[in-house]
Structure 1
């Protein structure tokens, strides 16, 4: 199936062996998860209007839709990689797909925002497990020589999903109903479960991975602390009251710090490398940049379409195009800078950070103004900034980690992103409800929310830029020391 001398894949032989078909079905899990993750923002205006009506609770819980989904994905993603040690890969994949389908069905039929959020949690559990199992499947079912090509295809699938999700949500809402958008994922999850049972019929897929009967430890305490912390922060934004909201937010942030502390004290099950946020460490500066920008950039994805529709009457399909353009900019610029020489990686990371921060600041003006070209420019800046910075940032973090922590560091970047998205979505709910949405969804409330929702996160954007500059100076010193 491969030419060892050139490390090229014989796709015809791969198809004839059935391995390519298996890979296609495995990759369907990534497509389902990523498309659903990016779709919700464009269906939110129609969904809130139908589920909440004139009730305040529906608007107040908008930020939970992403926070709960990401929380489920984090927990399931961490669990799935360990479950294959004592439960067969095929069984794991079938159960994950059925969970995903069940969650999508609950969302599609939900009569209230609370039940919709329960469906989102179940969807997140299934989707997060499918993504984790997809990567495990490549390592277990395919020759090591073609892993880079298969991982490259999986990255391309993620990019396609990030583009197609907002478009799918907008088109289904315009032509049929937002419920049909989730209905498609119900059928997709069911098809994934059936395909997994039929296609994953190899001995490697039908037996557990571990031979000694011991499963690697699972970070129950750390993830439990994380889940409680995110829920507490999100709860602070519902029914805003100074004392209650401040107390919930404070306890939630303390719990978040405790999560990272617990993780650091559990070396056998830890999710992050040591010196996680220490700027004296290159890894710490890099992970700070990941966390800061992941939290700071949630506002437009969660509330952008809702604000643009309420304030300016911009069609849902147009907001779908804008969000899709952000994903396209991420993918295209990531490809364009992929072959940049090492000496240019440092300024590229800094440039990407500046672009992201400029996008956050720009949204604070363009969203209230309603200028579609300027809003599109800010989306392109934000997505493009991630596109050029993230590949080199990830490489920098992994290369700077200790030899015994490089595997942890490589997995820590996407994990930190998901935690940042979950916490960011919870915080956007607090800001949105405190600045006007607690009084209901109307034009006056949206006008009040529009600027504050982005300005509130600009300090984190500045922190991200400072971390990028710290990375730059650290990399420069390292190169000078190596040259000397």
Structure 2
């Protein structure tokens, strides 16, 4: 490979390393929090906000995605990247220094804003800093930035919590993010990253941002519904879900919520399976630690196995996906997810030992690894140059919103369990129900010309 083509040499190499590090550290943080949150919520006496600590970050990420996309279109990615990383850092520091669960939640909300915006800004930096011939290599590097954290992040987070303190899973990452950010700033300071080259760039952003805020507020409100009087919890949750459904429609392709064939079903399926997987995953370390007294270091292995299976299945899909076809991949993925949910449910019921939760979650990770990249491929295949940004954004928004809502609803169910010990089984039943629901859009993935809502 020539120096011109390399993404790892000279200034370009420095930017690649810095951007890779920012994504790597965001991945480490995401997986670490899933592992240590049972300990954090116990220490801060905030078990009732356990689900909101996950759902809130995903929800505010939607606002960050919409805002950063418009900022990049109008003024270039530099300012958006700086603001996004600053917010992410501020959120880490607030969470790491928190002495109460509400303060930690504030940190998580700020962190979500930064994380959502940072991803979008980095993608635009790639588009404007690197020549098109190497874009594929850069995005492959970004994908790899998730693989290593997924293998070692949960274990390291458990070790840090056991031998140091859970606060270092936030503050330690903050120090490393600051170092990576300084590297990127120094290398990009005199590089022309462009501005708003298209007339009307960012037009309609006020309306889209308003809807994004409504979606985020709704997702967080569901989590707080667990503190409402028992008679009002579920009516309030249903009302908020309806508000989210109305608010998210302009951010998705027309017909997405009705599973219209083609791109709308692709986008809908992404949200449903994400909700299923991440709602269950948020409670797996909690189940192992609270029910079986498994150390955090060992509990994190369930996430590690799922991550290894995810990356392996993604590689297989990349090589053989076109041969297998989308329908077969979707069906296989849902079967693997179903196996994973069934294993977690049986462990929660005491039918299977804790080790089965770890093994079963590996199956679920494999299902996600097959399906996630395939849905992205279908989205790009059903997009034109004029709507690639909108459709890519819609896919990410569906992903984050589906996860946030499902985690929040699972939190209400967990906190409302009438029979002692039934909370965990109810969570995994909800996640399994979403897998079954995903069959509907899964049968309607055939590409058709999309329309914007």
Structure 2-normalised TM-score? 0.90
| Mapped partners of 2:197, 2:444: distance in 1 | 42
1:257 matched to which residue of 2?
Answer: 245
Cα displacement (A) at 1:210: 4.2
| Mapped partners of 2:435, 2:200: distance in 1 | 46
| Mapped partners of 1:404, 1:105: distance in 2 | 39
2:404 matched to which residue of 1?
Answer: 422
- Aligned with 2:43 (options 43, 50, 60): 50
Post-superposition Cα deviations, 1:173-207, rounded to whole Å, max 9, x if no partner, equal 011010111111221232234223312123314x6
Q: Which deviates more, 211-220 or 448-457?
A: 211-220
1:225·1:258 contact (CA, 8 Å) conserved in 2? no
2:307 matched to which residue of 1?
Answer: 327
SS of 1:9's partner is coil
Is 1:317 equivalent to 2:297 in the alignment? yes
Is 1:40 equivalent to 2:28 in the alignment? no
1:101·1:188 contact (CA, 8 Å) conserved in 2? no
Is 1:217 equivalent to 2:211 in the alignment? no
2:415 matched to which residue of 1?
Answer: 433
Cα displacement (A) at 1:239: 4.3
1:441 matched to which residue of 2?
Answer: none
1:298·1:428 contact (CA, 8 Å) conserved in 2? no
Q: Superposition RMSD on alpha carbons, in Å?
A: 2.5
2:451 matched to which residue of 1?
Answer: none
Is 1:27 equivalent to 2:20 in the alignment? yes
Post-superposition Cα deviations, 1:19-77, rounded to whole Å, max 9, x if no partner, equal 1101211222212222212211211222122111xxxxx11110011111111222112
2:96·2:170 contact (CA, 8 Å) conserved in 1? yes
| Mapped partners of 2:75, 2:107: distance in 1 | 25
Q: Which deviates more, 300-309 or 141-150?
A: 300-309
2:345 matched to which residue of 1?
Answer: 364
- Unmatched runs of 5 consecutive residues or more in structure 1: 53-57, 264-270, 437-443, 479-484
Cα displacement (A) at 1:214: 5.6
SS of 1:300's partner is helix
| Mapped partners of 1:280, 1:402: distance in 2 | 19
1:83·1:92 contact (CA, 8 Å) conserved in 2? yes
Q: Which deviates more, 34-43 or 189-198?
A: 189-198
SS of 1:340's partner is helix
Is 1:143 equivalent to 2:125 in the alignment? no
Post-superposition Cα deviations, 1:215-246, rounded to whole Å, max 9, x if no partner, equal 4432122112212321222222224511x213
Cα displacement (A) at 1:212: 6.3
1:294·1:417 contact (CA, 8 Å) conserved in 2? yes
Residues 95-244 of structure 1: pairs in structure 2 closer than 5 A: 95-205=83-193, 208-210=195-197, 215-218=202-205, 219-242=208-231, 244=232
Post-superposition Cα deviations, 1:403-443, rounded to whole Å, max 9, x if no partner, equal 8545433332222111111111111111110116xxxxxxx
Is 1:459 equivalent to 2:433 in the alignment? yes
2:266·2:441 contact (CA, 8 Å) conserved in 1? yes
1:100·1:125 contact (CA, 8 Å) conserved in 2? yes
Q: Which deviates more, 414-423 or 233-242?
A: 233-242
1:357·1:465 contact (CA, 8 Å) conserved in 2? no
Is 1:469 equivalent to 2:443 in the alignment? yes
2:219·2:405 contact (CA, 8 Å) conserved in 1? yes
| Mapped partners of 1:459, 1:174: distance in 2 | 35
Report the count of equivalent residues: 444
Cα 1:403/1:142, change in 2 over 3 Å: closer
1:32·1:127 contact (CA, 8 Å) conserved in 2? no
1:91 matched to which residue of 2?
Answer: 79
| Mapped partners of 1:403, 1:302: distance in 2 | 37
Is 1:15 equivalent to 2:3 in the alignment? no
2:288·2:354 contact (CA, 8 Å) conserved in 1? no
- Unmatched runs of 5 consecutive residues or more in structure 2: 449-453
Is 1:373 equivalent to 2:373 in the alignment? no
Post-superposition Cα deviations, 1:318-353, rounded to whole Å, max 9, x if no partner, equal 111111111111001110232216342231221111
2:215·2:244 contact (CA, 8 Å) conserved in 1? yes
2:278·2:403 contact (CA, 8 Å) conserved in 1? yes
| Mapped partners of 2:167, 2:393: distance in 1 | 34
| Mapped partners of 1:180, 1:457: distance in 2 | 31
